[in-house]
A and B are shown apart, each in its own frame.
Chain A
Amino acid sequence: MKYNYYPGCSLEKNASAYHDSTMAIAGPLDMQFSEVDDWNCCGAIELIAIDKMQAYALVTRNLAQAQKQTHNGETLVAPCSACFLNLSKCDAYLVKDEPLAAKVNDALSAGGLHYTPGTVKTRHLLEVTVNDVGYEQIAAQVKKPLHNLRVAAYYGCLIVRPGFLDKFDDPEYPTSLDKLMQTLGATVVDFPMKAHCCGGHMTQISEKVALDLIHRLLKNAADYQADVIVTICPMCQLNLDAYQENVNKAYGTKYNIPILYFTQLMGLAFGTPPEQLGFGKEFINAAPALAKIGVEPPKPAPKAKAAKGALPLPIMPEED
């Protein structure tokens, strides 16, 4: 099946493990992805807080770019839940709000672009995986079932709520990822917090608020003795992984739960070499959990020696 693909900024670097593992399983699942030409950031939830018209124009430029390469009604696939929400919501609102669509197209015309509302349908990677490929096809690819691995299937918010174009799973208690993990042979634990919020950008605005939300999720997964939490969103991955240590400090806990992408576990079950699946980038080492299924991830890169007192600072070319 052919898809247009919108990776989003996170998948370029921070969540490259998600991108790499997605590309690695595309072959066995017979999915062909062609990246949207010269796509731009979707604005996350930041630009809509500042300027409505710019926010809609920014997202619609991506839809217009995707429309140019849509020849047979190809779906636009977004692996990031926030990108998925922005793209699908923007299209839904442009269809519903004609004056808005006219103004957004006025803005796009300044760049020689036009978008016809309703022509590009954005769906999340998990949804196309379970609905287009299907559990049976997936099961047929499983060569190394994930027996004995206790998985908490974490959905977060935006993939299931509110469903601007299509509702594919329950907004409060989804099960598609649970079924997918069972298909791979994993033991799926109860995880009542599975569709609760990871804190989103609150880690940057009020870490106390964010840590509270992350703590609830980690506690819940730990209560049900999950070996790993599997996620479908780069923001959820980052918050639960990189801030786990901060949660431990703030709450006196000792959580040590690796946070992996569902595509990484699919790859392992398909027998894809772990080197192709982006392991080793997680803050919380996944090796002990993977040992349970007889997988040895590649050794992490040796610790880079930082020059004394050197701190990571950005290089802004034009300011040199």
Chain B
Amino acid sequence: MATVPFPTDGGAKVIPRRLFMREILEDTPGGDPRLEMCIQCGTCSGSCPSGADMDYSPRRIFAMIEAGMREEVLRANTFWYCVSCYYCFVRCPQEVKITDIMYTLKRKAIREGYYKESSASEAPDFSETFVEAVFKYGRSFELGLATRYHLRHHPIDAVKMAAGMGLTMLRKGRMDLTPRRIRDLDQLQAILARAKEIAREERVEIGGVA
């Protein structure tokens, strides 16, 4: 019978089912997000305005992370339905930075492609289309975002929306037809390119997926 070697460097960090937890802790900015302190009280799930539509409530997702259920977690729609309202964040008796954990899960699910299997598979494309304009112009561009994203995913609704809400927005002077640009776009793009490189180096350093 094969035996699992007992951890010799003295810590829980080498027990395999803790690895997913560690990945999340290391990828969450702003100091320790305290996810390991979760006591499964369910205050987060009870506070969540979109909890009813999630595959697994926040509390359950944290239990699954603790259990090392990596793929099941990353395939879930839970974090895509997080509206960033920070109710759970301020109510958590253990001060787990729940909203930040949700962003970390989003990044992982995108990087590793698991989002395609989630019921919210269009959500990353919304973020990416939004960000595309920011990289290109330095400012967001609502009309470009709405048309590109909706034409790709809901073409019929897009036409209806353009004819209704879109026209009203234009008529009322609430939407630009052309994007606005910042002056020093080259500087911004150089900064973002370097940031991307640093993030890649960091992931290699901690042994994740580059």
Contacts and interface: CB of A to CB of B under 8 A. Distances in A.
Contacts of B167: 304, 306, 311-312
A113 B191 contact: yes
Contacts of A252: none
Contacts of B149: 204
Contact of A43 (B50, B84, B131, B187): B131
A110 B195 CA distance: 9
Contact of A41 (B85, B140, B171, B184): B140
Given A44-B130, A113-B187, A50 B110 contact: yes
Nearest to A43: B134
Interface of A (DSSP majority class): loop
Interface in A52-95: 52-54, 56-58, 61, 89, 92-93
Which residue of B146, B148, B167, B194 has the most chain A CB atoms within 10 A of its CB atom? B194
A54 B197 CA distance: 9
A96 interface: yes
B41 interface: no
B49 A97 contact: no
Interface stretch (B5-13, B27-35, B68-76): B27-35
A97 B31 CA distance: 5
Interface string A293-304: 000000011011
Nearest to B81: A209
A195 to B, nearest CB: 9
A49 B107 contact: yes
A280 B168 CA distance: 12
Contacts of B126: 46, 201, 204-205
A281 B169 CA distance: 8
A14 interface: yes
Interface in B110-143: 110, 120, 122-124, 126-128, 130-131, 134, 138-143
Contacts of B204: none
B49 A40 contact: no
A16 B174 contact: yes
Interface string A94-116: 00110010011011111111000
A281 B172 contact: yes
Contact of A97 (B30, B89, B177, B182): B30
A145 B146 CA distance: 40
A95 to B, nearest CB: 9
A77 B144 CA distance: 28
A111 B188 contact: yes
A206 B170 contact: no
Contact of B187 (A103, A111, A205, A317): A111
A13 B85 contact: no
Which residue of A38, A46, A96, A304 has the most chain B CB atoms within 10 A of its CB atom? A46
Contact of B142 (A14, A45, A208): A14
Interface stretch (B16-24, B59-67, B158-166): B158-166
B192 A57 contact: yes
Contacts of A204: 126, 146, 149-150
A250 to B, nearest CB: 14
A162 interface: yes
A6 to B, nearest CB: 12
B207 interface: no
Contacts of B169: 14, 242, 312
Nearest to B172: A281
B83 interface: yes
Contact of B50 (A47, A171, A213): A213
Closest 9 pairs (CB-CB, A-B): A93-B30, A110-B194, A53-B199, A161-B86, A111-B187, A107-B195, A57-B195, A197-B85, A46-B127
Interface of A: 9, 12-16, 38-41, 43-54, 56-58, 61, 89, 92-93, 96-97, 100, 103-104, 106-113, 157-158, 161-162, 171-172, 196-197, 199-202, 204-206, 208-209, 213, 242, 280-283, 300-301, 303-304, 306, 311-317
9 contacts: A9-B139, A52-B27, A54-B196, A54-B199, A100-B30, A110-B190, A282-B172, A304-B171, A312-B170
